[in-house]
Structure 1
């Protein structure tokens, strides 16, 4: 866990890509659930933010 936080602080690609992937997955889950309307409402923007974040962090340097 400490190496994950250190990677985030040093702007390494691996931890940021993992975080972006989790945000994308969260957006897809929010889109597919039929119970909570606010989650469905914000699902597209969540998926979009995760996708843009993934594109940006793919240009970060690799970790040590």
Structure 2
């Protein structure tokens, strides 16, 4: 990661705060950004990627 702490805001309010590896979960990304995301950490260099699809399950087709 490129930061020690991260803040996720929803409508100007703090929805989550902390270390990226604990804050950026699939559940949070779904709730805040309405995306289905996988969290993938490489075994060779330990970098994390967040591949996602545009719509969360309840928002498909909208």
Structure 1 length-normalised TM = 0.23
Structure with the larger helix share:
1
Point out which structure has higher relative CO (alpha carbons under 8 A, 6+ apart).
Answer: 1
Structure with the larger strand share:
2
Q: Determine which structure has more spread, i.e. the larger CA radius of gyration.
A: 1
